[in-house]
Amino acid sequence: MSEMHPMTATGTRRSGTGPPATAALPMTLARWAALAIGVPACLALTGWVGFNIVALIGEGSFSVRYAIPASAGRVDVNFGGGDVRLQQRAGSPAELTGTAHYSLSRPAFTARAIPGGMAFGYNCTNVVGECGFDAAISVPTGIAASLWTDGGNATVAGTTGDVTVSSGGGDVTADGVAGDIGMHTDGGNIQGTAITAARVTASTGGGDIEIVFTRVPRDVQVSTDGGNVTIVVPAGSTQYHVTASTDGGNVDDSAFPTNSSSPDQITATSGGGDITIREAS
């Protein structure tokens, strides 16, 4: 009786024992393409994950404190990036304080004099990891101030002097502001709470505007290219000369006390959002 030999996957005999050998799959054009794309992608992903881990390990921070000179009773501050808060502090000169965060390499913090104040910069170039600067600008009681940030959020709180706050695209927020205030952003939202200022101007390139007054305002001018507008004034306080228009939304001021001869005026415009003007409930 002849000896039986195992068969390979292709039907050929092989000698010895053990599992049958598996034939190699033919390398088609599609398989070559998958290798050409998949292998570099896997290597790149592995490198990116490793770089992120290194960036997390290499995170650091440092504190900044810088005096800001005042000129003619006002302070002007330009900030190159990051979130900025403007606040009032009695008995102290104007100054900037904050914490800078970075990964791997420490960016330079710059300061240069401008008419009436200072311009600060913090240039983040890392593509991974944390990098940013959170700053607070403190000004003496009653001093006028102007604050501009290139793209972060800007907040002003508890000031009694006249204030102008602008952002290149972030949100602008005001709380408990008593002096006249101007707020502008190229695209973020504007929100004001507990506002006692007599005069308020606010404009945004497309965000919403909401301002709540706790004292009768004398002159309110707000506009947005496309967002909604909400203005709330104290109940039963006075009548207002109201001018409100929107290109595509609705205007709701039917229950609002209006008088075209009133010296207290509210003007609100929107490129397409709704406008609501009402008394506090």
CA-CA distance, 23 to 109, in Å (whole number)?
64
161 versus 99: which is more confidently predicted?
161
Looking at 115, 150, 185, the residue that finishes a domain is 150
Q: Among the listed ranges 114-123, 166-175, 246-255, which one has the minimum average pLDDT value?
A: 114-123
Query: Does 143 share its domain with 168?
Result: no
Order of all β-strands in the sheet with 172-175: 59-67, 95-103, 132-139, 83-88, 154-157, 172-175, 190-195, 209-213, 229-233, 275-279, 251-252
Q: Among the listed ranges 12-16, 122-126, 193-197, 253-257, which one has the minimum average pLDDT value?
A: 12-16
- Domain range holding 258? 163-281
Which residues are CB-contacts of 171 (< 8 A; sequence separation ≥ 6)?
Answer: 153, 154, 185, 188, 189, 190, 191, 207
Query: Does 276 share its domain with 172?
Result: yes
Query: Does 214 share its domain with 130?
Result: no
What is the pLDDT, as a whole number, of residue 109? 83
Query: Does 85 share its domain with 144?
Result: yes
CA-CA distance, 29 to 70, in Å (whole number)?
72
Query: Does 86 share its domain with 167?
Result: no
Tens of pLDDT, residue by residue over 176-225, are 999 999 999 998 999 999 999 999 999 999 899 999 999 999 999 999 99
Looking at 95, 126, 150, the residue that finishes a domain is 150
Task: Assess if residue 193 is contained within a domain.
Answer: yes
What is the percentage of the chain residues whose pLDDT exceeds 90?
52
Query: Does 167 share its domain with 267?
Result: yes
Task: Assess if residue 9 is contained within a domain.
Answer: no
Task: Assess if residue 15 is contained within a domain.
Answer: no
Tens of pLDDT, residue by residue over 230-261, are 999 999 879 999 999 999 899 999 889 999 99
Query: Does 167 share its domain with 134?
Result: no
Task: Give backbone dihedrals phi and psi of 38, rounded to 5 degrees, phi first.
Answer: -70, -45
SS3 121: strand
Q: Among the listed ranges 8-22, 120-134, 188-202, which one has the minimum average pLDDT value?
A: 8-22
Task: Assess if residue 12 is contained within a domain.
Answer: no
Query: Does 78 share its domain with 133?
Result: yes
Q: Which helix (H) or strand (E) holds 167?
A: strand 163-167
At 123, is the pLDDT very low, low, confident or very high (cuts 50, 70, 90)? confident
Task: Assess if residue 260 is contained within a domain.
Answer: yes
Comparing CA positions, the residue from 133, 211, 207, 144 lying closest to residue 170 is 207
Query: Does 131 share its domain with 175?
Result: no
Query: Does 83 share its domain with 142?
Result: yes
Looking at 150, 177, 209, the residue that finishes a domain is 150
In total, how many domains does the chain have?
2
Looking at every residue in the chain, the average pLDDT score rounds to 82
> What average pLDDT score do residues 158-184 get?
96
What is the pLDDT, as a whole number, of residue 129? 55
CA-CA distance, 193 to 40, in Å (whole number)?
54
Task: Assess if residue 38 is contained within a domain.
Answer: no
**How much is the pTM?**
0.76
Query: Does 206 share its domain with 281?
Result: yes
What is the pLDDT, as a whole number, of residue 115? 79
What is the pLDDT, as a whole number, of residue 175? 98
> What average pLDDT score do residues 167-183 get?
96
Query: Does 130 share its domain with 169?
Result: no
Look up residue 220 and give its two tokens.
């309110």
Amino acid at 271: G
pLDDT at 31 over 70: no
